[in-house]
A = this chain, B = another copy of it.
Amino acid sequence: MATVAELVAGLRAGDRRAVARLLSLVEDGDRGRVRRVVELCHPITGRAEIVGLTGAPGVGKSTLASGLVAAWRRQGREVAVLAIDPSSPLTGGALLGDRIRLQAHALDDGVYVRSMASRGHLGGLAWAAPHALAVLDAAGFDVVLLETVGVGQGEVEVAAVADVTVVAVAPGMGDAVQAAKAGVLEVGDVLCVTKGDLAGAERTVAELEEAQRDGGLVRTPVLRTNAIAGEGIAELVDVLSALRDERCADPAHRPRHRARAHLQVREIAVAALRRRVDEAITGELLDAVARGDIDPYAAADRLLADLDLPDTTGGSEGAG
């Protein structure tokens, strides 16, 4: 079996199997190996344009993703898509059957598509996604598209670490759009009304723009696309690149790179601490809480007082 160092050498040489193997190591979650992957990949990151794409289920994210990939390919750029699946034991990933729309690019060597489940990591999605982005960035992709379903806080956190984030909104969702407005305007750098051929698209664009005016907010660009017909995609790509260039022009002021570092460092530290807490919890303490002899806060205090802090690879069991 190849060592992590050998795999990273392969990744630098353009070997796609090495990319796949490294992402699997991240996903498997063995702490020692994940650490090694990050150590070796991190120094060669920072070049890729990382684009977040999120939105509620059914708004047409995958069709839009496919359109974006095609547009970037026409610019001669190599593209990786990291699709975060909100698979839980209960949904079994069924929400994301439409990932197959990206199969249009399956025979194109300049496109690499990978799904990752948000399930099963101790630290959740927020822990694994930045590691995976580091692998894809180190692999030399010009653009990495991070696609997530807009359900749950984890996905929002991840969108926040992309260089620029597109929020996809379907036309005619009426109340849903109303309810989501405040949040949508927070998370997105660009709002994209999908299915632009539908009757309500123009109105939804107007509603989103009006909501920003009314709220006195900084204006977030609102675009309209029809990914199937290829309309609006080139404009979206241009807006994304311009935003990213503006943000990342001065290497001393790359807020998203810093946000990404913050998320990654924090989640590594918290995952280590969570393990330490679980190891320190005794059955005796839990019985005392279950009996009502001690309240959970007092129990947590007792636990924290007893803890010796480990380093981030401390302990012996797997993290997956």
Contact = CB atoms under 8 A, between A and B. Distances in A.
Contacts of A88: 150-153, 155-156, 183
A297 B152 contact: no
Most buried by B among A90, A186, A309: A90
A44 B291 CA distance: 10
A106 interface: no
Interface in A278-320: 278, 281, 283, 285-287, 289-292, 295-301, 303-305, 307, 309-313
A150 B155 CA distance: 16
Contacts of A12: none
A182 B91 CA distance: 11
A266 B274 contact: yes
Given A42-B296, A46-B292, A261-B296, A91 B151 contact: yes
11 contacts: A35-B297, A88-B150, A91-B180, A94-B180, A118-B153, A119-B153, A257-B290, A261-B286, A266-B274, A270-B277, A304-B311
Interface of A: 35, 38-39, 42-46, 54-57, 86, 88-95, 97, 118-120, 124, 130, 150-156, 167, 173, 175-176, 178-184, 186-187, 251, 254, 257-258, 260-262, 264-266, 268-270, 272-274, 277-278, 281, 283, 285-287, 289-292, 295-301, 303-305, 307, 309-313
